[in-house]
C-alpha cells in the first residue's frame, strides 16, 4: 500500500455508498482534525470507514465541501502520468467508436474515472478544465498525457467557472502545450458549422452535449421558421438551417456569441436565412410577442438557473418564466423545446416548471420527446450531477 496519509469517515456516515460507487466524500462526512486540515489541496490519501477499514484512494481538498474524490479502488495505485494515460485511452477508445471526426468531449470527469476533469477535443487542439484540486495541481502532467494518447499538438487550460471557485481554485487561462489557435475553430455537427472560440468563448468554446438534441430539433425544423433563444453560437438555429428551415432567428445577450453564429451561417452559405438579435432573452421574447411574431419551432436553452440546491426554487421559477414567454411565440401545431443544464433541478421538477409556464402562457400541448446529453457525456449512475442536461420537446396545439 502507498505510504499515504489517512482520512476517515465519521461514525454516522454511510461508507456503503462509497463501496457501491459514489465518488465523493463531503466535508461533514469526514473526520477533519488538524492533521487532515493541513493536507495540501490535491494531495492523495487513503479513505477509511469508521472501523478503520480501507475503502479507496482519494484526492483531498480541505478547502472544498467535497473533501475527498475517489481516484482508484486499488489502494496501491500510483496517480501519475501513466495512470492518467490509462484512463484517457479508455475514454478515447469509446469516443473514436462513437464519432468519425475528433470533435467531442474526451473526458467527462467522474464518469470517465478522472474526477473533476473536463477535456473537450477540437481536432488537433484539446481544452481542459481542471475543476478539482488534484487535476489543477497535475495540470502539466495531464496535458502531457493528453498529447501522448491523442496526438493533439496543443492543450489549453481553461480555468474559469463556478466549479473552480467551489474548490477554492483561482481563475487561470494557460496554453500548456503548443500554441493557441489564432482564430475560431470550425466544428462540423449535424450538417452545420459552428465557430468555437477556444480562448474567449463560454466554457471550452462549444457545447458538445446538445448534439443529439440539435439532431432531434432538425426533424421539427425543416421548411419552417425557428427561434433559438439563449442561442450562444447558434446551436439550434444553425442546425435548423442545415435541416432546411426557411429561417432561423438567434437571440443571445453576448455580442461575441452572436457574431460567431453569424460566421457559422456564412461558412455554410446560409447567412441570408439567419437573423441575429443581441438582447436580454426575456425582453426579446416579450417584444416579439407584442409584435405578434410566431414560429414553427421555438427553442430555449438558457444557462443553469439552478446550479445548486440553494438556488433551486428561484431557478425553477426562472424556467417557468422562460416557458411562459416562449409558448405564445409558437404557431398552433408548432413545437417548443425547453432545456435545462441545472443538475439541482431533476427531470420531474424541470418538466413540472415547464408545464406550468406553458399553461401560464395560455397554451396547451403534449410532450413528444425528452433528450439528454450525448454519449460523449457519460452518466455515472451513482452521481446525479453527471446527468445534468435535460431537453423537453412539446407540440402546442392551441
pLDDT in tens, 71-85: 999 999 999 999 999
Residue 67 grid cell: 473533501
- What pLDDT does 209 receive? 97
pLDDT in tens, 216-251: 999 999 999 999 999 999 999 999 999 999 999 999
- Looking at the domain covering 185-396, what would its CATH class be? alpha beta
- What pLDDT does 2 receive? 63
Q: Among 212, 208, 253, which Cα is nearest to 230's?
A: 253
CA 35 to centroid of chain Cα atoms: 35
Bridge pairing between strands 172-177 and 154-159: antiparallel
- What pLDDT does 57 receive? 98
Res. 96: pLDDT tops 80? yes
| Equal fold, 6-72 vs 81-177 | no
Residue 279 grid cell: 438582447
Mean pLDDT, to the nearest integer, of 346-360? 97
Mean pLDDT, to the nearest integer, of 150-178? 94
Q: Which residues pair with 339 in a beta bridge?
A: 391
Which homologous superfamily does the CATH classification assign to the domain defined by 81-177? RNA methyltransferase domain (HRMD) like (3.30.750.80)
DSSP state string for 175-239: EEES---SSPEEEEETTEEEEE-TTTSSTTSS-GGGHHHHHHHHHHHTTSEEEEET-TTTHHHHH
Mean pLDDT, to the nearest integer, of 305-325? 94
Q: Helix (H, G, I), strand (E, B), or coil: what is residue 384?
A: helix
Mean pLDDT, to the nearest integer, of 192-205? 91
Q: What is the C-alpha to C-alpha distance for residues 23 and 7, in angstroms, rounded to an integer? A: 15
List helix spans (H) across 33-186: 34-37, 81-98, 133-137, 139-150, 162-166
Res. 9: pLDDT tops 80? yes
- What pLDDT does 12 receive? 82
Res. 19: pLDDT tops 70? yes
Res. 154: pLDDT tops 90? yes
- What pLDDT does 298 receive? 98
Contacts for 203 with CB less than 8 Å, ≥ 6 apart: 129, 158, 161
Q: How much is the mean pLDDT over the chain?
A: 95
Res. 1: pLDDT tops 60? no
pLDDT in tens, 242-256: 999 999 999 999 999
Res. 3: pLDDT tops 90? no
Q: Where are the domains of the chain?
A: 6-72, 81-177, 185-396
250, 300, 339, 341: which is the annotated catalytic residue? 341
* Contact between residue 385 and residue 24 where contact means Cβ atoms under 8 Å apart: no
Residue 272 grid cell: 441570408
- What pLDDT does 135 receive? 98
Q: What is the C-alpha to C-alpha distance for residues 48 and 8, in angstroms, rounded to an integer? A: 5
* Contact between residue 247 and residue 266 where contact means Cβ atoms under 8 Å apart: no
Residue with the larger pLDDT of the pair 301 and 204: 301
The CATH fold assigned to 6-72 is: 2.30.130
pLDDT in tens, 99-145: 999 999 999 999 999 999 999 999 999 999 999 999 999 999 999 99
Phi, psi torsion values for 335, nearest 5 degrees: -130, 145
- Tell me if residue 250 is catalytic: no
Res. 36: pLDDT tops 90? no
Residue 90 grid cell: 479508455
Give the residue carrying C-alpha cell 467535497: 66
Mean pLDDT, to the nearest integer, of 186-205? 93
- What pLDDT does 200 receive? 86
Amino acid at each position: 500500500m502507498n505510504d499515504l496519509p489517512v482520512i476517515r469517515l465519521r461514525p454516522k456516515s454511510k461508507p456503503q455508498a462509497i463501496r457501491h460507487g459514489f465518488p465523493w466524500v463531503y466535508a461533514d462526512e469526514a473526520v477533519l482534525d488538524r492533521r487532515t486540515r493541513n493536507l495540501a489541496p490535491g494531495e492523495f490519501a487513503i479513505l477509511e470507514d469508521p472501523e478503520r477499514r480501507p475503502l479507496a484512494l482519494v484526492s483531498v481538498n480541505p478547502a472544498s465541501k467535497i473533501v475527498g474524490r475517489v481516484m482508484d479502488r486499488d489502494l496501491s495505485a500510483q496517480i501519475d502520468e501513466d495512470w492518467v494515460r490509462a484512463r484517457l485511452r479508455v475514454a478515447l477508445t469509446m469516443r473514436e467508436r462513437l464519432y468519425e471526426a475528433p470533435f467531442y468531449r474526451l473526458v467527462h470527469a467522474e464518469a470517465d474515472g478522472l474526477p473533476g476533469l473536463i477535456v473537450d477535443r477540437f481536432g488537433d487542439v484539446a481544452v481542459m478544465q481542471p475543476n478539482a484540486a488534484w487535476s489543477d495541481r497535475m495540470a502539466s502532467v495531464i496535458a502531457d498525457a493528453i498529447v501522448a494518447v491523442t496526438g493533439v499538438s496543443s492543450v489549453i487550460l481553461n480555468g474559469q467557472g463556478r466549479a473552480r471557485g467551489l474548490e477554492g481554485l483561482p481563475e487561470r487561462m494557460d496554453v500548456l502545450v503548443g500554441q493557441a489557435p489564432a482564430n475560431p475553430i470550425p466544428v462540423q455537427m449535424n450538417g452545420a458549422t459552428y465557430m468555437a472560440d477556444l480562448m474567449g468563448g463560454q466554457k471550452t468554446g462549444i457545447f458538445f452535449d446538445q448534439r443529439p438534441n440539435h439532431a432531434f430539433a432538425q426533424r421539427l425544423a425543416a421548411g419552417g421558421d425557428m427561434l433559438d433563444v439563449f442561442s450562444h453560437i447558434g446551436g439550434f438555429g444553425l442546425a435548423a438551417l442545415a435541416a432546411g428551415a426557411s429561417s432561423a432567428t438567434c437571440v443571445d445577450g453576448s455580442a461575441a456569441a452572436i457574431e460567431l453564429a453569424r460566421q457559422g451561417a456564412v461558412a455554410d452559405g446560409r447567412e441570408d436565412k439567419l437573423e441575429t438579435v443581441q438582447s436580454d432573452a426575456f425582453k426579446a421574447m416579450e417584444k416579439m410577442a407584442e409584435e405578434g411574431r410566431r414560429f414553427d419551432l421555438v427553442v430555449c436553452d438558457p444557462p443553469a438557473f439552478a446550479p445548486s440546491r440553494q438556488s433551486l426554487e428561484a431557478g425553477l421559477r426562472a424556467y417557468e418564466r422562460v416557458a411562459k414567454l416562449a409558448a405564445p411565440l409558437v404557431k398552433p401545431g408548432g413545437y417548443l423545446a425547453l432545456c435545462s443544464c441545472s443538475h439541482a433541478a431533476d427531470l420531474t421538477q424541470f418538466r413540472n416548471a415547464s408545464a406550468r409556464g406553458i399553461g401560464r402562457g395560455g397554451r396547451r400541448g403534449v410532450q413528444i420527446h425528452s433528450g439528454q446529453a450525448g454519449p460523449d457525456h457519460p452518466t455515472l449512475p451513482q452521481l446525479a450531477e453527471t446527468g445534468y442536461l435535460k431537453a423537453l420537446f412539446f407540440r402546442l396545439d392551441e
